[in-house]
Amino acid sequence: MGRIRSQIDHATAELLQAQRVFFVATAPLDPDGHLNLSPKGLDSLRILSPEVVAYIDLIGSGVETIAHLKENRRIILMFCTFDGAPKIVRLHGKGRVVEPGADEFPDLVAKFPAYDSTRAIIVVEVSRVSNSCGYGVPLLQYERDRNHLFDWAARKGPQGLAAYKREKNRHSIDGLPGLA
């Protein structure tokens, strides 16, 4: 049976931190706009308080989550166990984008590993925590993290990454503003 809470309790925090992957969903206000659903992995999530989580946003070919949050702040994070007891947890809330150059960026980014491909930190003020069974989620075994993003970022170098962000991350696929 599912439970709904307004905060992340200790047991839920432990479950979230143990997951190797989670999913982030956002949507624009325009009903004809494109919804976005992105997987997140690596050591990218931090629970800052029972009502606030943050994840490090690494460079990618799109900027939908950032654009949607700048437009309307709506976000949901979903975690599901792929080993152990079957569970699904969803964190509903309002998100905001903290880009390099923002006053709070240095303190936030210090909570994460140093990744060359960091483009922002997403902070989520959690308003609803729901859990349900994960009976339909398969059992999977973790093998290892992929190095592709890090190798690609190293080949690009700082100037190449900056150029890539200017080219690919200024606007969403629906034309919403992305990175500043």
DSSP characters over 27-61: --SSTTSPPEEEEE-SS-EEEEETTEEEEEEEP-S
- Using alpha carbons, select from 51, 69, 54 the residue that is nearest to residue 129: 51
Give the domain range for residue 69. Answer: 3-168
Structure tokens at 79: 């975690």
* C-beta separation of 96 from 48 below 8 A: no
Answer yes or no: are the C-beta atoms of 108 and 54 closer than 8 Å: yes
Per-residue model confidence as pLDDT tens digits over 37-74: 999 999 999 999 999 999 999 999 999 999 999 999 99
Model pLDDT, residue 1: 53
> For the chain, how many structural domains are there in total?
1
Render pLDDT for 137-178 as a digit per residue (tens, 0 to 9): 999 999 999 999 999 999 999 999 999 999 999 999 999 999
Q: What is the pTM of this model?
A: 0.96
148 part of a folded domain: yes
Asked if residue 29 is part of any domain, the answer here is yes
Q: Is residue 180 part of a domain?
A: no
Whether 58 is in a domain gets the answer yes
Domain assignment present for 10: yes
Query: Rounded to whole angstroms, what are the CA distances from 109 to 48, 65, 89?
Result: 12, 18, 25
Asked if pLDDT for residue 114 goes beyond 60, the answer is yes
Residue 89 lies in a domain: yes
Residue 11 CA to residue 155 CA, distance in Å, equals: 41
Q: What CATH number should be reported for the domain holding residue 32?
A: 2.30.110.10
Q: Tell me the average pLDDT of the chain.
A: 96
Name the residue among 91, 4, 108, 83 with its Cα closest to residue 40. Answer: 91
